[in-house]
Amino acid sequence: MDFFTALRVSGSGLSAERTRVNLASSNLANAETTRGPDGQPYKRLDPVFQAVAMEGANATPGAPGEKPMGVEVSQVVADQTPGKRVYSPGHPDADADGFVTFPNVNPVNEVVNLLSASRGYEANATAVETLKQMAQRGLDISR
Amino acid sequence: MKLFDTTLARLERSLDVRLARHNVLSANVANVDTPGYTAKDVDFKAAMAAASPGTGASAESMTLAGTEGDSIGAGAVGTTGHAADIPLMNAAGSSPSMDGNQVDLDRTMVSLAENGMQYGASARAAGKKLAILRYVSSDGNG
Amino acid sequence: MRSELDMIVGGVRPLERPEAHTIEAPGKSGEGTFTGELTKALGEVDKLQVDADQQAKMVAEGGGNLHEMSLALEKADISMRLAMKVRNKLVDAYNEIMRMSV
C-alpha cells in the first residue's frame, strides 16, 4: 500500500481550500463593485470541487470508486442570481430608470465560507502532520 | 561477489536525487511571489534510471540561474555540484495566478515533506546495511 | 483383604507412555545432523538479508513501504548478529578442543 498517496491527497485538499479562500476573499473585496471589467456588476464566484483519482492510488485494493480520491477545483462558476437594485439616480452606473445593480454578494455568507475553508485547510494540514509522525515512527522501528 | 552491492548503489543514487529535488522544490518556495516563474520539479523515475554521472544529461541540467522573469536574487537559486544528470521538468502546477507565477505553495510544501521522509528512509536503510557489514567485519564486536 | 488389595492394585492404571519421540538415525549430512541444521539456519539468515535488500531497493526506487522496510532491516540485523554469536561460539569450541592435550 502506498505510503505517500495520503500526502498527495492532503496536498490537493490544501490547494482546493486555498482556492476557496481566494474566491471568498475576492467576493468580499468586490461586495460593492458595480462595474467590473465587462461593464457589468460583479457576480460572486463559486468553486466547484470534484473528487479526482490520485495517481499512485492504484496500489490500494478495491474497486475504482473506493480508492482514496483527491480533490480539485474543476471550475469556477459565477453566480447568476441578480443582485439587488437600489434607486440612486446620481450614481455614475445608474441605468435609464435610475437604478443601480449591486453585486449579489452577501458578506455574512462569504465570511462563513472563509471560516469553513480555513478549518478545512487546518484539518488537511493536521492530516499531513499526522502522516509525517507515522512515517517517523515507522522508520524508528529500525532504530 | 561484491562487498557493496547494487542495493547500496541504488540507495546512494536515491539520496542524491532526493537532495536535488529538495533544492528544486525549495527554489520554488523561494520564488512563490515571483511574477512569471515556472515551477520546476525533478523527474524522479528518469533520474533514478540515469544510472551514474557521465551518462549524458537528458534534459536541462541542474543550474537554475534565474532565467524566468526577475526572480529574487537571480543567482541565489542556482545549484551546482554533482547532479549534472538529473532531469528537470515543469511541475504539474495549478493554473497560473494573475502575475504568471505557477507555484502551488500547498502542493510544493507537501512534496517537500514527502521528499524529506523518503530521504530519511533511504538514509536509514543505507546506514543499517552498512552497520550490518561493519558488525560482521569486526568479528561480532561492534 | 486380598480382594481389597486386588481392587487397589487393579484400580491403579498403568503409567501412560508418552508419545514416543521417534529419533531417526541421521544420514550423513541431511536433516537431523548438526551440519544440516546449521546450513538450513544460515540459509534463513541469508534469505532475511535478501529480503531486506529488496525492501531497501523498493524504497530507493520511490515506492515501497516504510515500515515493512524497517522491519525487514531489523530482522536482518538481529539474525545476522545471532549468527555471528553462534559462529564465535563454534570457533571458541574448536579452539578449546585443539588446546586439549592428548
Using CB atoms, pick whichever of C63, C64, C71 lies closest to residue A141. C71
Q: How far is B129 from chain A (nearest CA, A)?
A: 11
For residue B142, tell me if it sits in a domain.
no
Handedness of CA A143, B4, B5, B10 (dihedral sign): positive
Confidence band of C7 (pLDDT split at 50, 70, 90) = confident
Q: Which three cell numbers stand for residue C47?
A: 534469505
Using CB atoms, pick whichever of C63, C64, C74 lies closest to residue A142. C74
The answer to whether B128 contacts chain C (CB < 8 Å) is yes
For residue B1, tell me if it sits in a domain.
no
User: In terms of CA atoms, which chain B residue is nearest residue C72?
Assistant: B125
Residue A40, classified by CB atoms within 10 Å of its CB into exposed (0-12), middle (13-18) or buried (19+), is: middle
Looking at beta carbons, which residues of chain C come within 8 Å of B13? 60
For residue B11, tell me if it sits in a domain.
yes
pLDDT at A71 over 60: yes
- Report which secondary-structure segment, H or E, holds A46: strand A45-53
pLDDT tens figures, A82-127: 888 999 888 888 888 889 999 999 999 999 999 999 999 999 999 9
pLDDT at B67 over 70: no
User: In terms of CA atoms, which chain B residue is nearest residue C76?
Assistant: B132
With contact defined as 3+ CB pairs under 8 Å, the chains touching B are A, C
Q: Give the C-alpha separation, B90 to A114, whole Å.
A: 31
- Report yes or no on whether pTM surpasses 0.80: no
Domain that holds residue A20: 5-140
Give the pairing type, strands A69-78 and A85-87.
Answer: unpaired
The answer to whether C67 contacts chain A (CB < 8 Å) is yes
What is the share, in percent, of chain C residues with pLDDT greater than 70? Answer: 78
pLDDT at B95 over 80: no
Q: What is the number of structural domains in chain A?
A: 1
User: In terms of CA atoms, which chain A residue is nearest residue C64?
Assistant: A2
Q: How much is the pLDDT for C87?
A: 92
The answer to whether C63 contacts chain A (CB < 8 Å) is yes
Numbered residues of chain B with Cβ closer than 8 Å to any chain A Cβ: 94, 104-107, 109-111, 113-114, 117-118, 120-121, 124, 128
What is the share, in percent, of chain A residues with pLDDT greater than 70? Answer: 91
Best C67, C75, C77 residue to mutate vs chain A (most A CBs within 10 Å): C67
* B13:C60 CB<8 A: yes
Q: How much is the pLDDT for B78?
A: 41
* A2:C63 CB<8 A: yes
Q: How much is the pLDDT for B93?
A: 64
Q: Number of CB pairs < 8 Å for A and B? A: 40
Q: How much is the pLDDT for A40?
A: 87
Q: How much is the pLDDT for B37?
A: 86
pLDDT at A18 over 90: yes
The answer to whether A139 and B120 are in contact (CB under 8 A) is: yes
pLDDT tens figures, B15-60: 999 999 999 999 999 998 888 888 889 988 888 888 654 333 333 3
The answer to whether A139 contacts chain C (CB < 8 Å) is yes
Nearest to A142 by CA among B70, C52, C46, B43: C52
Average pLDDT estimate for B83-90: 74
Q: How much is the pLDDT for C40?
A: 93
- Report which secondary-structure segment, H or E, holds A118: helix A107-140
pLDDT at B73 over 70: no
Looking at beta carbons, which residues of chain A come within 8 Å of C67? 138-139, 141
Please tell me the least confidently modeled range out of A17-31, B84-98, C19-33, C84-98.
Answer: C19-33
Q: Is the ipTM of this complex over 0.90?
A: no
Q: How many whole angstroms from its chain centre is CA B60? A: 14
Q: How much is the pLDDT for C100?
A: 92
Mean pLDDT of chain B: 76
Domain that holds residue B128: 6-137
Q: How much is the pLDDT for B77?
A: 40
Average pLDDT estimate for B66-89: 48
Looking at beta carbons, which residues of chain B come within 8 Å of C64? 121
pLDDT tens figures, B98-115: 778 888 888 899 999 999
The CA angle A59-A65-A71, to the nearest 5 degrees, is 85
